[in-house]
Amino acid sequence: MLVGSVGLFNDNSSYGPNQIALMLAAGVASLVGLYLGESWRDMERAMVEGISLALKACLILLAVGSLIGSWMLAGTAPTVIYVGLGILDPSWFYPAALIICALVAISIGSSWTTAGTVGLALIGIAQIMDLSLPVTAGAIISGAYFGDKMSPLSDTTNLAPAMVGVDLFVHIRHMAWTTTPSFVISLILFTLIGWNSESVQAPAESIDAARNILSQNYTIAWPTILPLAILLVLAMRKVSALPTIAIGALSGCVVALIWQPVLVQAFGNPDGSLAGWLGSIKALFMAMADGFHIETGNESLDALLSRGGMSSMLNTIWLIMSAMCFGGVMEHTGLLQRIVDALLKGVHGTGSLITTTVLTAIGMNIIAADQYIAIVLPGRMYRVEFARRGLAPQNLSRTLEDAGTMTSALVPWNTCGAFMAATLGVPTLAYAPYAFLNLLNPVIAIIYGVTNFKITPLEEGPEVEPVTT
């Protein structure tokens, strides 16, 4: 049903059709559960519990929506775009986007935060330079996931070794063998695309015109970057994502009041019917709830700057809730386990075991629609099998990240794919072919397994730590 939905509705499939397909699939799985003797009450509870697993992601989505709205009003994102237009050359923009996002994600340990802040600004720069938005989104996501995966601050980077009982830094060092080649190949590919892009000859006049429009409508100054600096500092100090993003959104409101007072008044009180401070408060609430809107006289810039708000994330939250309903009932009825048991029957060696683990993690991202489930379930299922075959646990933890973490952003109804599409404004299936790092990592993991390259035997690995489930 999902394949049919995407084929019939294309880029619009995430705006209702995919949700209907997932809910219908959950209904079919429930009928199978009833046939197997499961009670409706238990399956209903499993669906509710599945949704509860994604509530944190939903809250973060709402916070990101408010952050985008307040940063557009405050001039934070426009200032970054203004500066970027002055220093980034179109011919090397794609590899620069990859490297910038990788460095930011390593420092803060979050692909979501990187995409919602620096990535958002890079999308704006690409749009003004008339560069490909899908390629730009692919570079942003590739860099963000590389940094997220290699950062000790990342939640998934801590989750994967915890699930199989291996030291965090042993896990990161082992991941470098698959992730570094993927990054280097991605860097080469983005460089070649940039050199051969027709947009390299983008007229300087259009860039200058865009910068002039930005400076006419905003106060472009370094204090407008304060919300971004505050957010990065909080993230590096390991403050949880939700309060970090919420504080970033509120700091954007403060900056808007101080450095963009004329713009705030024009947005919240266009007819002058409200007292000054009431119009300003109204503008802040409007930006965080429904997003910021502006009319500069340039349609492309208006589309770029008019965005954000919690309401812009509601469709994505609907998609996530539908997916988690399906994943919850599939796990509760044992249908997921049945698939894994069938896969294990074909495992005969190291190569086939790692290939099966990769396919299982990808399948979990598709079926359960959550990267955490794609790490936790295969980690629990294959931990004993890896030990039985004399393989050190870091082989499993690395494979979980190579497939579970990396492919999550490539599935339109997965929490990560839905988030990236909603935040960057590029459909998942449009940027997926250019998310080179995310596509290459699972392939390299399988190649290493088949060739037995950098596969650590159990006797050479660290002592396996007990895992509490």
Could you tell me how many helices (H) and strands (E) the chain has, helices first? 25, 0
Chain-centre distance of CA 68, in angstroms? 15
What does the DSSP assignment read for 10-75?
Answer: GGGGGTTHHHHHHHHHHHHHHHHHHHTT--HHHHHHHHHHHHHHTHHHHHHHHHHHHHHHHHHHHT
> What confidence score (pLDDT) does residue 463 get?
44
- pLDDT the model gives residue 343: 77
Q: Roughly how many angstroms between the first and final C-alpha of the chain, as a whole number?
A: 34
Continuous segment of H or E residues that includes residue 163? helix 155-164
Structure tokens at 38: 């499961």
Cα 404 to Cα 87, 128, 269, distances in angstroms = 36, 34, 48
On the 0-12 / 13-18 / 19+ scale of CB atoms within 10 A, 130 is middle
Instruction: Note the residue count of the chain.
Output: 469
What beta strand segments (E) does 151-200 contain? none
DSSP-assigned letters across all residues of 281-331: HHHHHHHHHH------S-HHHHHHHS---GGGGHHHHHHHHHHHHHHHHHH
Helix 350-367 vs helix 314-332: crossing angle, to nearest 10: 130
Q: What is the pLDDT of residue 204?
A: 60
Averages of pLDDT over each 10 residues, the chain, 469 residues: 77 79 92 95 92 80 87 88 80 91 81 84 87 94 92 78 80 92 96 75 67 89 90 80 88 94 90 80 94 85 83 83 85 83 80 92 84 79 84 92 93 88 91 96 94 83 44
Q: Which residues contact 450 (CB under 8 A, 6 or more apart)?
A: 351, 354, 355
Please tell me what DSSP assigns to residue 410: G
Q: Tell me if residue 333 falls in helix, strand or coil.
A: coil
Domain positions in the chain? 41-54+313-460, 64-308
Cα–Cα–Cα angle for 198, 432, 134, rounded to 5 degrees:
30
Eight-state DSSP code of residue 453: T
- Single-letter amino acid, residue 11: D
What's the pLDDT at 465? 45
CB burial readout 151-161, b (16+ within 10 A) else e: bebbbbbebbb
Residues 6+ apart with CB under 8 A from 331: 46, 50, 337, 368, 373, 377
17 Cβ neighbours under 8 A, 6+ residues apart: 5, 8, 9
CA 128-285-71 angle, to 5 degrees, is 30
Judge contact between 70 and 308, C-beta under 8 A.
yes
How many Å separate Cα 52 from the centre of its chain?
19
Structure tokens, 206: 């259009």
Tell if the pTM clears 0.85, that is, is over it.
no
